[in-house]
Structure 1
Amino acid sequence: MFLKYFYDDSLAQASYMVGCQATGEAAIVDPSRNIEAYIRTAEKQGFTITAALETHIHADFVSGSIELSDRTGATVYHSAEGERNGGYSFPASVNTAPVRHKDTINIGKTVFEVLHTPGHTPEHISFLLTDGANPKKPIGIFTGDFVFVGDVGRPDLLEKSVGVKDSATKGASQMFESLKQFKQLDDYLQVWPGHGAGSSCGKALGAVPTTTVGYEKQFNPALQYDDEQSFSDFLLDGQPEPPAYFKEMKELNKGVTGLLGAIEQPVEFAYSEEKIRELAQDEQALVVDTRPSSLYSQGHLAGTINIPYPDGFLEWMGWLTDYRLNVYLIAEPEVKASLAEAFYSIGIDNVRGFFSPKNVSQAKEQRTYETVPPSEIKELKREDKIRIVDVRFENEWNAERIPGAIHVMLGSLQEEAEEKIPHDKPVAVHCASGKRSAIAASILLNKGYEVKNIGGGFAKWKADSLETEKP
């Protein structure tokens, strides 16, 4: 048997190739949309990819199953559990095979046994893998978003992202029962999860890529509960807000994802200050300046927002992008291919063009903003000359905050700023360290606020022993 691990750092997403060397067949578990790495590996190993195995309808990335089916003729194995046959709706051109609990899938001499493991989603399944060389006992389990290293899948996404009423508590109950099933597995079994640290599909995922059933039984906090209500309270407490784009992914991954080959490729435009300004004012366009916030703050074009690449870029693009808009980027030419690939991985297929940033700093009409130390903001606050805006997540705000601050989480700032933040005085914006608040500063500038960014964020505010409060 052949087993290979693939990992997308920008999405903290894992996928796997399982191949039978005796027959030359291979399957991909939870493939990402860019399938080139799978194709290259299959060619190198002499495999034909005959199957794509889906654990569930993903919320955080576009599945590559349809892409694989189109390119290789692979059969897409997906859950038929949960309501409405799992919720999938693949086009007739895709060869699909719905599976249920205890069904088996044979890829050459390797065998995948389907286990229905609802909780993260109602249709979620896991795959217990048996190597044909040792057919008496399985070797491990692909858990998707069911069990992670040190965590389990969050059950609240359908309610928070899609609006399915009461699905969070129902999902927590289902997860409790699914974990009973997991605890019955042999300790030696390897666990191959669908995500690592940094994913929003759980609240405390570990950074180690794989684990074992036995280790998780002993050390995973979610597996230490015998009482369902205590477990549910633990699981639902402290789950962060899901990125806005999760709702889009849930719809795309039911089976309607377009093929990459059909996407209109973005154009590299010659730099034009006038053209960028025109697009930045277009209600049907979004212009994103990907330069570091230190450069953006020193001079940028009105109407653009600043999401620095690469740190956190994809997450905040998913939060802040209206999928109906045409996207234009101010970005270095050498990263445009990586940027386009990143966008496609979360279904933003309408990236229309790139501008080089080399001339932005010489633009005739530029805007700037200051990054100032907490001590300066404290003094302005004491004199009632500034308003503090906290753009951290809800759980961060609930843990501790600056007295008198207004809370508008960054992902909601585009829609809620005007309603919650008066224009009567300048605003000082902060997050935990200063990265998110730099993005927020660009958004608030476009809405007509006079903005300062608090250098070092809440961490620096506390380090300087300035006043905080707990609710």
Structure 2
Amino acid sequence: MFFQHVYDKTLAQASYVVGCQAKGEAIVIDAQRDIDVYLTIAKQNNLKITHIAETHIHADFLAGSRELAAVTGAKLYLSDEGGADWQYEFNHIGLKHKDKIQVGNLTLEVLHTPGHTPESISFLLTDHPATEEPVMVFTGDFVFVGDIGRPDLLEKAAGIVGTQEKGAKQMFESIQRFAELPSFVQVWPAHGAGSACGKALGAVPSSTVGYEKHRNWAFQYANNEQGFIDYLLEGQPEPPKYFAMMKHLNKVNRPLLVEVPLHPRLTKEKFLTAYQHGVKVIDTRDKKAFEKGFIPGSINIQGNNAFATWMGWLINYQEQFILIADDDKIEELTRKLMRIGMDNMYGYFNGIEELGVPLNTAEVIDIDRFKIELNKPDTQLIDVRGVNEYNAGHIEGAKHLFVGTLPENLDRLDKEKPLLIHCQGGDRAAIAYSILKKYGFEDVKNYSAGMNEWLTKENRTVNN
């Protein structure tokens, strides 16, 4: 048997290539949208991709299953569970509980595992030349290492009211059935640490059924359904705004993008024309570079692992945007945007100094200046971290405005009074600073070191 785990660390998303080398056939499970990685793996290992499957209608990334099927001619296997409202709206081979997919000498049995979503399925793999016992289960967003999938996304991200309680009850039932699998079966989930699809995902890529039964919190509530439901729904992180769009695009018949697009490097003239006509400018440089000089009105979303997530939070899918980025970074950034279906890039520009536009600089302050500003009577102290972080402990007097929803909450701030902002370690505060400046807040100071320094260097306590 051939097996390869493909991991996108920017979205903490896992996909899998599993093949029968004797027959030269392979299946790809939960493919990302830039599909060349799977074509390369198949070619290098003398395999033909003949089957493509998904565990559910994903909310956190745009699946590349249809792109991969279009290029390879492979058959597309998707869940037909969950009822009429949870059906994929394009041609596929429908899967029900206990159905089987044959890939050469391998068998993948379908397990209906609702809870995270009503149509969620897992794939229980048996490698027949080796054993007639199952060896792996691909759980999607059902069981993670150390955690389980959240059932509140449909309500919080997609606006489908009344689904989280029902999903939590379904998850409790699915967990009981999962516990009956042999303890030695390997567990390969669709996400790892950093994903917003759970609240405590482990950092290692895989586990076993036996390990999860001992260490995963969900299996400690076997005789306490209400306690399970309460804990599962409590303290889940904010679902990024783009999740609702992913839920839609992964379900409907959409245009396909089978290659990584080549976005143009804009000339100075084209950039300035677009900029003057209000096209949004996203500066992907490191926050330190941004602080030293940035185009007025631009938003600093660093091109690191969190780039796509923050783009999904802050950029409307219908609006065009321009990236400020180095030539050698644009393909990587394009791939990150592809994976959440954000294709509306007008182009990119490199070298803001040559524009001739007067640049702004950011006012970043140290802890000594922060304490001085904190004691001024008119100062508005804003904590832009997540709500769970804020509730766990915050500086006295701080107002909570999560950076992901900051643009919709600017009316809660007074432009006539000074603003003092911080996050945990500086990245989110840099985004917030650029948003505030874009929307006309003049007196803004960024305590970039944030709670990391406040708690350690000063050994201070916080309110909760």
The TM-score range, normalised by the shorter chain, is over 0.9
Aligned partners of 2:34 and 2:259 also within 8 Å: no
Whole-Å separation in 2 of the counterparts to 1:276 and 1:335: 18
How far did 1:364 drift? 4.3
2:313 counterpart residue number: 319
1:425 counterpart residue number: 417
Residue number among 99, 111, 115 corresponding to 1:115 in the alignment: 111
Moved beyond 6 Å, runs of 4+ = none
1:124 counterpart residue number: 120
1:447 counterpart residue number: 439
1:49 counterpart residue number: 49
Does residue 253 of structure 1 match 2:218?
no
Pair 164,364 (structure 1): closer, same or farther in 2 beyond 3 Å? closer
Does residue 299 of structure 1 match 2:272?
no
Whole-Å separation in 2 of the counterparts to 1:464 and 1:262: 49
Aligned partners of 1:406 and 1:421 also within 8 Å: no
Does residue 459 of structure 1 match 2:452?
yes
1:342 counterpart residue number: 336
2:86 counterpart residue number: 86
Whole-Å separation in 1 of the counterparts to 2:377 and 2:460: 15
How far did 1:276 drift? 4.2
2:203 counterpart residue number: 207
Alignment deviations for residues 197-218 of structure 1 (CA, whole Å, 9 cap, x no partner):
1111111111111110000000
SS of equivalent residue, structure 1 residue 203:
coil
Aligned partners of 1:263 and 1:349 also within 8 Å: no
Of residues 230-239 and 309-318 in structure 1, the stretch that sits farther from structure 2 once superposed is 309-318
Whole-Å separation in 2 of the counterparts to 1:178 and 1:26: 28
Residue number among 134, 141, 150 corresponding to 1:145 in the alignment: 141
2:7 alignment partner AA: Y
2:176 counterpart residue number: 180
Alignment deviations for residues 90-117 of structure 1 (CA, whole Å, 9 cap, x no partner):
1xxx5x1001001111111211100000
Pair 89,236 (structure 1): closer, same or farther in 2 beyond 3 Å? same
Aligned partners of 1:58 and 1:253 also within 8 Å: yes
2:197 alignment partner AA: C
Whole-Å separation in 2 of the counterparts to 1:367 and 1:358: 12
Pair 238,439 (structure 1): closer, same or farther in 2 beyond 3 Å? same
Does residue 155 of structure 1 match 2:151?
yes
Whole-Å separation in 2 of the counterparts to 1:214 and 1:3: 21
1:7 counterpart residue number: 7
2:424 alignment partner AA: A
Whole-Å separation in 1 of the counterparts to 2:261 and 2:227: 50
2:298 alignment partner AA: T
2:376 counterpart residue number: 383
Whole-Å separation in 2 of the counterparts to 1:433 and 1:300: 21
Whole-Å separation in 1 of the counterparts to 2:259 and 2:202: 37
Pair 387,181 (structure 1): closer, same or farther in 2 beyond 3 Å? same
- Any residues of structure 2 matched to 1:23-102 within 5 Å, and which? 23-84=23-84, 86-90=86-90, 94=91, 96-102=92-98
Normalized against structure 2, the TM-score is what? 0.96
SS of equivalent residue, structure 2 residue 89:
coil
Residue number among 217, 230, 234 corresponding to 2:231 in the alignment: 234
Aligned partners of 1:62 and 1:257 also within 8 Å: no
Whole-Å separation in 1 of the counterparts to 2:159 and 2:414: 30
Aligned partners of 1:380 and 1:386 also within 8 Å: yes
How far did 1:278 drift? 4.6
Whole-Å separation in 1 of the counterparts to 2:183 and 2:140: 18
Identity over aligned pairs, percent: 46
How far did 1:370 drift? 1.4
2:29 alignment partner AA: V
Normalized against structure 1, the TM-score is what? 0.94
In structure 1, the gaps of 5 or more residues are none
Alignment deviations for residues 97-155 of structure 1 (CA, whole Å, 9 cap, x no partner):
00100111111121110000011111000000011214521111000111111111111
How far did 1:243 drift? 0.7
Whole-Å separation in 2 of the counterparts to 1:257 and 1:426: 46
Whole-Å separation in 1 of the counterparts to 2:244 and 2:96: 25
2:216 counterpart residue number: 220
How far did 1:468 drift? 5.3
Whole-Å separation in 2 of the counterparts to 1:467 and 1:404: 14
Residue number among 279, 293, 299 corresponding to 2:274 in the alignment: 279
Aligned residues: 462
Residue number among 396, 399, 402 corresponding to 1:403 in the alignment: 396
How far did 1:281 drift? 5.0
In structure 2, the gaps of 5 or more residues are none
Whole-Å separation in 1 of the counterparts to 2:303 and 2:386: 21
2:427 counterpart residue number: 435
Residue number among 340, 363, 367 corresponding to 2:360 in the alignment: 367
Whole-Å separation in 1 of the counterparts to 2:273 and 2:383: 31
Pair 282,171 (structure 1): closer, same or farther in 2 beyond 3 Å? farther
1:288 alignment partner AA: I
Whole-Å separation in 2 of the counterparts to 1:399 and 1:25: 50
Pair 466,42 (structure 1): closer, same or farther in 2 beyond 3 Å? closer
Of residues 139-148 and 381-390 in structure 1, the stretch that sits farther from structure 2 once superposed is 381-390
Task: Compute the RMSD of aligned alpha carbons.
Answer: 1.8
1:378 alignment partner AA: K
